[in-house]
Amino acid sequence: MDVLGEMLAALRLSGGVFVDAEFRAPWTVLSDYTPEDCAPFFEIPNQLIAYHYVRSGTFTCRIPDGPAREVRAGEIVILPHGVPHYLHGPEPWPAPMDTQNVLRTIDNGILRLRGGGGGEAATMYCGYLGTTTPDNTLLQSLPPMLVIAVDSAEGDWMVRSLDFAAQGVATRSCEMVGKLAEGLFAEAVRRYVADLPAHERGWLAGLRDPAVGRALALIHQRFAESWTLDALAREAAVSKTVLAERFRMLLGESPMQYCARWRMKAAAEMLRDNRQNACSVAYSVGFNSEAAFNRAFKREFGAPPATWAREAVAA
């Protein structure tokens, strides 16, 4: 599995809330679905990922004090950080609709929303995914809003998946809707990474660089090994100088600093799962001394492993 696929899997996405909506101009809705709102559908997650696919018409997606993007038919907007956001019809934008003025029906297990005035219509599929790992490096590296075109031949499966969910599959299996949405999210992220500008910097840009991407894959997949810059460079088929320079240019830190941080993230995930004690985790991530592991973990997370684990499980 590549690093991006590994990080997508590590998100631990769950469930799927599915909405079929049609709004007519003038209209504005506030999407502020919270993790607690998911309780009737699946286990309450730590964070939500929202998405809206435009079937027809257009609308503007706007994050308060943040970006605003027009989304057209055949495009999907994804909000990976789960922030409240507005969906607007054509300007001038009215105040958000009162929920009492939105027609809500349950048809074949799908929540269908209808509202607005008597003008131009925008139809969309909306959904929410839950994740239990909001501190995931991939999620943190994504912008607050992604707009991806899915009306090409390559995106046909995504459109058909959404249509399939709208036919009532949500009634029969919330898990199936979750898997469909998970696949859609993964494809959107891969497209976003592939379309990043050449001058882009950051973790996602590092995945595209042949040498840095190879080094990241090695660190992620073999984090318990005692990596050195020389060993990583040899595996990446570049000199130590080239790897160090490109790694710092793209990720803002050295390969060894990243390796140490990733080892601690892996340890934190093991502790969060509550399947191993601190001593076992220490050896699993390449430490020969529990005391050394405790010191390194506290430097990264501000608390000893046992304390951090208790707080993480209780949260």
Give pLDDT tens digits for 175-227. Answer: 666 677 777 788 888 888 888 898 999 999 999 899 999 999 999 989 999 99
Bridge partners (DSSP) listed for residue 68? 62
Q: Residue 152 contacts by C-beta under 8 Å, 6 or more apart in sequence?
A: none
pLDDT in tens, 227-248: 999 999 999 999 999 999 999 9
Fill in the DSSP letter of residue 296. Answer: H
Number of domains observed in the structure of the chain: 2
Shared domain for 144 and 16, answered yes or no, is yes
Q: What is the mean pLDDT of the chain?
A: 85
Across residues 255-268, what is the average pLDDT? 94
Extract the tokens encoding 218.
């090695």
CATH number at residue 133: 2.60.120.280
Q: How many whole angstroms separate alpha carbon 73 and alpha carbon 120? A: 13
Shared domain for 65 and 165, answered yes or no, is yes
Domain limits for position 66: 3-194
DSSP secondary structure string, 45-66?
Answer: -SEEEEEEEEEESEEEEE-TTS
Antiparallel, parallel or unpaired: β 110-116 and 13-24:
parallel
Shared domain for 146 and 212, answered yes or no, is no
Backbone angles phi, psi at 110, to 5 degrees: -105, 135
Cβ–Cβ under 8 Å, residues 209 and 244: no
Shared domain for 31 and 137, answered yes or no, is yes
pLDDT in tens, 122-145: 999 888 888 877 678 888 899 999
Shared domain for 112 and 209, answered yes or no, is no
Fill in the DSSP letter of residue 144. Answer: S
Fill in the DSSP letter of residue 153. Answer: G
- Helices 255-273 and 240-251: crossing angle in degrees, nearest 10, is 60
Identify the domain boundary among 128, 163, 194. Answer: 194
Across residues 275-299, what is the average pLDDT? 92
Shared domain for 57 and 10, answered yes or no, is yes
Extract the tokens encoding 268.
């934190």
Shared domain for 162 and 14, answered yes or no, is yes
Identify the domain boundary among 194, 227, 249. Answer: 194
Cβ–Cβ under 8 Å, residues 15 and 167: no
What pLDDT, on the 0 to 100 scale, is given for residue 152? Answer: 54
Shared domain for 153 and 222, answered yes or no, is no
CATH number at residue 251: 1.10.10.60
What pLDDT, on the 0 to 100 scale, is given for residue 62? Answer: 97
Shared domain for 27 and 168, answered yes or no, is yes
Check pLDDT > 60 for residue 168: no
